[in-house]
Amino acid sequence: MVVAPAKPVKMSNVTRHYTFIDFATQGYTVTVAVLILLLHGKTVPLWPWLILAHAIAIALVHVLIVSHARHPSNRVLDFLRHFYPVLLYTGFYRETGELNQMVMTGYLDPFFIRFDEGIFGAQPSLTFMQSLPFWPISELMYASYFSYYIMVIGVGLALFLRDRRQFYHYVSVVSFVFYVCFLIYIFIPVMGPRIFQRVIDGYELPAEVQLHINPEFPMAVQAGLFFRIMAWIYETFEAPGAAFPSSHVAVALTTVYFSFRYLRPIRFIHLVLALLLCLSTIYCRYHYAVDVAAGVITALVLVPLGNWLYLRFHKPLEETVSALSSATQRGRS
C-alpha cells in the first residue's frame, strides 16, 4: 500500500507536541465521553463515573505529552510516551460492552446469522469445526487465534527495540484501527456464534434463529491446551457485542503490513499465520464469516488512511526523537 506524501499540519500552542496517535487517542476519548453524556439514558447507570474517567484520561495523556517534550531523556516518561495507547486498549475495549445498548436495544446477531445462511446455505461458524473435529487441527486453529496477541506485542516490541520512529508509526496505525473498531462496536453490537451455545450478558437468540440442535464442542477440541487458554481469556476479558468487524482480523493484517514494511525476514511466515488466524476465527466459533470479511475490508481501508494521517502529524515526533538522540549522545560524551 503506497501512501502519498502529506503536508504536515500546523499545530496550536496547546497541541504543538501532539502526534497523530495523540490526536487519535484524545479524539476517541472525547467522542465516547460525548456519546455517553448524550445517549446514556437508563442503559449506562454509572455514566457520570465513566465521563469522569474519560476526563482524567484526557488530562493525564496531555500532561504526559507535555512532560515528555520538556524532559525527552527521562526514561520513564519516554517509555510511557511510546506505550501509553497500548495501556488503554483493554479498558477502551471492555467499555464498549457497557455502552453498546445506548443506541440499540438487543443485538444484531439474527441479521448476521441470516446473512451467513443466505451466502453459504449453512452456518460456517458451526459446520467448520463439525467437519474437522480433530485435536491436531483444533489446536492449530486455537493456537493461530492466540497468536494474535503475539503478533501485536511481538511486532511492536521488535520495532521499539529496532527504531523508535518505526514503532511510533506502528502503534499509531494499530491504535487507529483499534479505535475505529471500538467505535463501531458501540453502534453495531454483535455477539458472534458463541450465542448459539449459551445466554451471554442476559441476551438469548430469538426463537426463529435458534438451531434445533446446538452442536457442542467435540471432546477432542475441549482437550486442547489452547482451547482452554482461549476459554479463560474470553471469560476474563471479552466484551459482549464486539464481533463485527473482527478486530482480530483487522489488527492482525495491520501487523502483517508492518512486517512487510519493516521486518521483511518474517513477513511471509507472519502472513501465513495471519491467514490461519482468519480461518480460526470461524473454526473456533468466535465470529461469523461476514465478521471476518468486514475485518479484512477494515484493514484495507484503515491502514492506508492511518498512514496518510500519520504522515500529516509526524513532525512533532521527528523533533522529539531528534531531541532524545541528542540528549543521549551528550550523556555518552
Task: Answer whether residue 277 is part of any domain.
Answer: yes
Element (H, E) at 54: helix 47-70
Closest among 295, 260, 297, 261 to 281, alpha carbons compared? 295
Does the pLDDT value for residue 56 go beyond 50? yes
Task: Answer whether residue 333 is part of any domain.
Answer: no
Task: Answer whether residue 157 is part of any domain.
Answer: yes
pLDDT tens per residue across span 188-204: 999 999 888 777 777 77
Task: Answer whether residue 10 is part of any domain.
Answer: no
DSSP string covering 59-115: HHHHHHHHHHHH-TT-HHHHHHHHHHHHHHHHHHHHHHHHHTTSS-SS-SHHHHHHH
Q: Could you give the C-alpha distances from 223 to 50, 131, 136, 227, 277, in angstroms and in order?
A: 40, 17, 11, 7, 20
Does the pLDDT value for residue 260 go beyond 90? yes
pLDDT tens per residue across span 88-121: 999 999 999 999 999 988 899 999 999 999 999 8
The SS3 call for residue 34 is helix
Residue type for 274, please? A
* Cβ neighbours around 77 below 10 Å, total: 17
Report d(CA 244, CA 238) in Å as an integer.
14
Phi/psi-derived region of residue 244, left when phi > 0, alpha when psi is between -120 and 50, beta in every other case: beta
Q: Residue 332: pLDDT band by 50, 70, 90 thresholds?
A: very low
Does the pLDDT value for residue 76 go beyond 60? yes
Task: Answer whether residue 63 is part of any domain.
Answer: yes
What does DSSP assign to residue 190? Answer: B
- Give the pLDDT confidence score for residue 315 in this predicted structure: 61
Domain of residue 290, residue span: 20-327
Task: Answer whether residue 32 is part of any domain.
Answer: yes
Does the pLDDT value for residue 215 go beyond 50? yes
Q: For residues 274, 188, 95 and 20, what is the CA-based torsion angle, rounded to 10 degrees? A: 60
Mean pLDDT of 157-164: 91
Among 136-145, 235-244, 283-292, the range scoring the smallest mean pLDDT is 235-244
Does the pLDDT value for residue 327 go beyond 50? no
pTM of the model: 0.88
Task: Answer whether residue 46 is part of any domain.
Answer: yes
Mean pLDDT computed over every residue of the chain: 88
Task: Answer whether residue 237 is part of any domain.
Answer: yes
Please tell me the total count of domains within the chain: 1
